[in-house]
Amino acid sequence: MALNHPSFGNLADDRIIIFDTTLRDGEQSPGFSMNLEEKLRMAESLAELGADVLEAGFAIASRGDFESVESIARRFAKDGPVVASLSRASTADIMSSIEATRPAARPRVHIVLATSDLHMRVKLRMTRDEVLERITESVTLARNHVADVEWSAEDGSRSDLEFLCRCVETAIKAGATTINIPDTVGYALPADMGLIFSTLMNKVPGAERAIFSTHNHNDLGLAVANTLAAIQAGARQVECTINGIGERAGNASLEEVAMAVRTRQNALNRSTGIRTPNILKTSRLLATITGFDVQPNKAIVGRNAFAHESGIHQDGVLKDASTYEIMTPESVGWTTNSLVLGKHSGRAAFRDKLKALGYELGDNALNDAFRRFKDLADRKKVVYDEDVMALVDDEVLRQHDRVKLTALTVTSGLHTRPMATLKLEIDGEEKEGMAVGDGPVDAVFNAIRNVYPHDVALKLYAVQSVTGGTDAQARVTVRFEEKGKLVDGQGADTDTIVASARAYIHALNKLLVKRERTAPADLHPAA
């Protein structure tokens, strides 16, 4: 039967709504925090990918979170995805979400309240009746201001099923238009999911008036399996994240769910609005912003996801790719033509290449990126797609930096004390400094600290190669900790020391942004 939803109207029978929570459940996990610019870039990319709902944040958590949700809502003021903000079941949270999402063409308030006996007793200190009452009050309040209200039963998969039915009935009666059942701690098995969804959808009076949604964590590696089981039992919305990032072991991965639905359409009979050729680009953007690459064997977006090593497999693929490939690499954004530009390539060819890779840069950013590309092409024989993407991502990441690296010279070698001399532009003013260190990278980091004094703990320094070969670009990730909060910075260059300096300064800039904001609240405290 066709549903009539305030944001989606009469949803086609086979259509699955993709609710992306990369910017909320994903972003709240350690090391994955993003600044406003980065969240806006991710939001743009997710909209291009075809996500139906963006959970932009948890508006009341901090001033920064509120601003991010509001900015994303403003970005989608005319059209685009539904913009949601998470709230606990309290007036302050709900009003903050209403306020932050108001500019969006299609705002959503997402209310969460725990329903398992364990969470109600230990965390909420509320009885079942009190929880039911709170559901009515909170959903009614939200519905007085906004048409699209999602209600989530935190720890739903470990809740008593009879009681869960009463909670869901109460939420629908109060006006919830989407009912989400999270497997908050990643405990459920696919069969549990099937039972929960079929029971709720068949037993709860009024169930036909709401969209049922599934939200799965990956503690047992079952998040995608549980999501598919819920779909098979009737769930019409799936909550997921790019690259599967999220609390602890992460959330169900958007790309895996979308490709399972597409590839096994014959079994699932469902479709999504995901433009699958954009998947790889979105995954890489997230990796660049957060500094966390996916593992090589990650389904869909891992470097080896379409690589065939064994002779038997290679022989089969050469004869007919479908012998060992259940989907084409191109269908998720991998290109076979990855050998690209060289030092004689002009601006037009560079712009065409960027377009093919999904980047639309303004004139200034294009000029800066082109200058860096020429510089790279002078130093590197072959410039691959990966090089161009690393370079552009690096350029865009730096656009609004307060501290910029303008010059760097390093001396190091056998029987020489490594020494770095550098210039930084700080809020438009150039400053110079130098330092020695236990190695060239240490000397550079000391020099930066001399020019711009700050006191943070360096928690991670990691170097990866963007492509193969000794002339490959290095992508460096640096992580700082200050007062228990982590920030990551990235930098890419053919010179590992320059990439390290860029990564350090990127982390420093993110720290400056973070310091301006108040500390985020605990996402799962008592309501």
What is the bridge-based pairing of β-strands 17-20 and 53-57?
parallel
Residue that is written with structure tokens 């010059």 in the block? 407
Does 50 bind ligand KIV (CB under 6 A)? Our answer is no
Does 493 bind Zn ion (CB under 5 A)? Our answer is no
Helix axes 279-290, 385-397, angle to 10 degrees: 50
> What DSSP string runs through 19-55?
EE-IIIIITTSTT----HHHHHHHHHHHHHHT-SEEE
Tokens of 338: 């990855």
* Helical residues (DSSP H) of 51-90, grouped into ranges: 63-75
Tell me how far apart the alpha carbons of residues 100 and 93 are, in angstroms, rounded to a whole number. Answer: 11
Does 154 bind ligand KIV (CB under 6 A)? Our answer is yes
Find the shortest distance in angstroms from Cβ 30 to Zn ion.
15
Nearer to ligand KIV, 25 or 52 (CB): 25
Q: Do 476 and 492 meet the contact criterion of CB atoms below 8 Å apart?
A: yes
Span from 25-33, 423-431, 453-461, 482-490 in contact with Zn ion (CB under 5 A): 25-33
Tell me how far apart the alpha carbons of residues 328 and 321 are, in angstroms, rounded to a whole number. Answer: 8
Site string for ligand KIV, 215-244 (x = CB under 6 A): x-x---------------------------
Give the one residue of 17, 18, 24, 25 binding Zn ion; rule: CB under 5 A.
Answer: 25
Give the one residue of 33, 90, 101, 152 binding ligand KIV; rule: CB under 6 A.
Answer: 152
Nearer to Zn ion, 54 or 507 (CB): 54
- For residue 465, which amino acid is it? S
**Degrees, nearest 5: CA angle 496-499-505:** 145
Give the one residue of 29, 115, 178, 184 binding ligand KIV; rule: CB under 6 A.
Answer: 184
Residue 160's SS3 state is: coil
Residue that is written with structure tokens 């497999």 in the block? 313
Span from 138-146, 180-188, 286-294, 483-491 in contact with ligand KIV (CB under 6 A): 180-188
Find the shortest distance in angstroms from Cβ 247 to Zn ion.
6
Does 488 bind Zn ion (CB under 5 A)? Our answer is no
* Helical residues (DSSP H) of 331-402, grouped into ranges: 347-356, 363-379, 385-397
**Cα-Cα-Cα-Cα dihedral of 427, 431, 433, 438, to 10°?**
20
Give the one residue of 60, 84, 112, 448 binding ligand KIV; rule: CB under 6 A.
Answer: 112
Find the shortest distance in angstroms from Cβ 126 to ligand KIV.
17
Tell me how far apart the alpha carbons of residues 382 and 344 are, in angstroms, rounded to a whole number. Answer: 11
Find the shortest distance in angstroms from Cβ 32 to ligand KIV.
14
Nearer to ligand KIV, 259 or 527 (CB): 527
Residue length of the chain: 527
Question: How many chain residues are in contact with ligand KIV, going by CB under 6 A?
Answer: 10
CB atoms within 10 A of CB 335: 13
Nearer to ligand KIV, 177 or 494 (CB): 177
Give the one residue of 182, 194, 250, 520 binding ligand KIV; rule: CB under 6 A.
Answer: 182
Instruction: Tell me the sheet residues that pair with 215.
Output: 182, 239
Site string for ligand KIV, 6-45 (x = CB under 6 A): -------------------x--------------------
The residues of the shown chain that bind ligand KIV, judged by CB under 6 A, are: 25, 86, 112, 152, 154, 180, 182, 184, 215, 217
The residues of the shown chain that bind Zn ion, judged by CB under 5 A, are: 25
